[in-house]
Amino acid sequence: MRSRTLTLAAVAGAALLATAALPASASGSATPRSAQEGSVSAADLLAKVTSCSQISNGKYKTDDETSATIPVCGKNGTVFWKADMDIDCDGQVTGKCNGDADPWFQDDTAFHQSDGKPLRAESLPYVVVPSTSSIWKYTSYGIKGGGVVAVIYNNKVEYAVVGDTGPTKIIGEASYATAKALGIDPDPATGGADSGVTYILFKNSQVSPIESHSAAVSLGDSLAKQFLQNN
């Protein structure tokens, strides 16, 4: 639910302050684990999304300072986009996701756990969808909180859920845990990927409970197989 409006200078300053506040052993980034979840390969999924049938009324920016070049595309049973990855650390306060580490931190997410608490970005892979606007209304295309998403980067697949909403004109954001699993620097102030991330959202899907990553992987693998068969 963040809106990235800080200047680059402010971001750099906040990152330096956050790093300075950490003990030496905590300021370095740990080597993230690699992801290949489920039985469907990244190559097989990507082969089905080589062309775009645009369903959005316009295109999105990847950041405030970029031009709008990213369409939302439709495919049988899915919507998808290819963009960058900004890091969302919103939700429950944890050691990696908090107001000191993240200049844009908010202690809530658009969708909540089964116990009513916000999601936990540090441990739960989730994806951010743009808030409803004249460009695109995600709910009109069967996308809902807890929906399954296959996130693909560097020949790896990570299954996530739709967990938060973002700015109305920007696309390409996922949780700390999503980035870390894909080998992307998950630092909310300085990390992320500039490009090369594909997000495939499965229509009318919903993980229950939303905080169960194992349930997301199981359902995601099943839906990915159906996607390959139907496209």
Nearest CA to 88 out of 59, 57, 109 is that of 109
Q: Please report where in the chains the tokens 């990847």 appear, as a residue.
A: 62
Alpha-carbon gap, residue 135 to 151, rounded angstroms: 22
Task: Note whether 157 and 40 are within 8 A (CB).
Answer: yes
CA–CA distance from 25 to each of 20, 22, 216 (Å)?
Answer: 11, 8, 33
Helix/strand/coil for 156 = strand
- pLDDT exceeds cutoff 80 at 29: no
124-142 tens-digit pLDDT: 999 999 999 999 999 999 9
DSSP state, residue 141 = G
15-27 tens-digit pLDDT: 333 333 333 333 3
Residue type, 180: K
pLDDT band at 36 (very low <50, low <70, confident <90, very high): confident
DSSP state, residue 61 = B
Residue 174's contacts (CB-CB under 8 Å, 6 or more residues apart) are 85, 86, 87, 88, 125, 126, 127, 128, 151, 160, 197, 199
pLDDT, mean of residues 47-56: 98
Task: Note whether 119 and 163 are within 8 A (CB).
Answer: yes
